[in-house]
Amino acid sequence: MCGRFAIAASKDEMLAYLQEYLDLLDETGLEFRLPRYNISPGELIPVVVSADGKCALRLLKWGFVPTFARNETKPLRLINAKAETIADKPAFRASFRRRRCLIPATGFFEWKATGGPKTPYYITVRNQPFFALAGIWDDYRIATGEAGSACAILTTAAGRILLPVHDRMPVIVDVANYGLWLEEETDPERLRALFYSVADERLELAEVSPAVNKPGNDVIECITPIRSRQ
């Protein structure tokens, strides 16, 4: 799964990266600030969506609310969706067909089971300060009256590099395929090849402080390799 990620850069740096590949409108507003070192489920996160033929960067809640849960006061909020089954799952298939998104990141976290407390690792892509995670999104309104837009991050099987830490990882979309992923009319069958478009060998792992275990700890130590602090 993917339960935490980071954007360890300024908002201007993130926008410059995205606008290098996409004709993008920034709709996040002045209140949105970066860097963020420990982004957690339930938060508003920057997400690139395509609507009416235009790309926009918006703030969406991380925690997709399926249609069947929207009549509840405390609905199920899904942070991940398995790429292998997303086209068939009733909770996700409509959004997979028409409402795909990109979640910019500089790295993500996975935890290794060690027999005791799990060990956190920060994962980045070699020679790529930014990258984008594949996501789906939708608008929602629940029984309490709360309404908004929410997203989930797609996951896939981990490759050889990451497998010793965790058996799942987020889908990373290659920059050459950003437009294809966002385009509403793209045949979903063409998208399956994108689930494995970033080579496993490009991933770099670093053990980091257990400070990242607590969502409220949004400090640079969360992404600083332990060895570099010794």
Closest CA to 102 of 203, 197, 199: 197
- pLDDT tens for each residue of 17-48: 999 999 999 999 878 899 999 999 999 999 99
Domain boundaries, the chain: 5-229
Rank 1-5, 52-56, 66-70, 107-111 by mean pLDDT and report only the highest.
107-111
9 to 130, 169, 217, 220: CA distances (angstroms): 9, 22, 17, 11
pTM listed for this prediction:
0.95
151, 47 in Cβ contact below 8 A?
yes
1, 79 in Cβ contact below 8 A?
yes
CB neighbours of 182 closer than 8 A, spacing ≥ 6? 22, 48, 49, 50, 55, 100, 101, 102
| Amino acid at residue number 20 | E
Count of H-run helices and E-run strands, the chain? 4, 14
What topology is assigned to 5-229 in CATH? Answer: hypothetical protein yedk fold (3.90.1680)
Please give the Cα distance from 62 to 105 (Å, whole number).
14
